[in-house]
Structure 1
């Protein structure tokens, strides 16, 4: 049963430079590629700018603030993933204009909706590698209104 609960550990890709993303994660920083010609972020990482085709890209830290663009709740009956379900998965649009797919943690699924403000959180993988996740910012305010 332990195999079904462990999430795979990421491996840096030799064709697409992703090591700075994982190095930043270990330091608690969300790092994304930026096209230096346009000043726009891109994700997932590419060897070239998706905007200009140039190699003029660099890794920069982003704020980790965003809003939920789309959301779904994963529910699977039976043993194996107990403790991880239901799992709220969202497409988060960061303040920098990039969308990431990530888990929403520390928030009950019924409190997570499109347009909700979120902040970066870290959800450790089986080996302790910090993996980017998000938590809603409005959680406390929503609870206070009930």
Structure 2
């Protein structure tokens, strides 16, 4: 929650956050607006790398060990699903930290329900895929 608050402040209250949204929306227009697109992308990759590093440390502490072959297996699908469920369009450029947090909570509830119902882990990925497709279709309907 504290990380979400920090990133929400950065995204909504700083010049870098405005630049990041502009680059995510349309990099060519951002470049014409005198925004250093490559630097903005680089800084966002640095922020993501630092965040992933902390996440890996916390995950290994939680699991009490870390296997390099399957430590974060299928977490990328969870991350994409949380962002899409939170309302960020697949085209990028506009989204909110609060929406992503709500999407992550919703996805956690879905995962918990599937585990409690005894659904196979292989089918859980299918259910997440169907949820992603449903969220994209809803966003597409709203855009029209």
Q: TM-score normalised to the size of structure 2?
A: 0.24
Greater share of strand: 1
Greater share of helix: 2
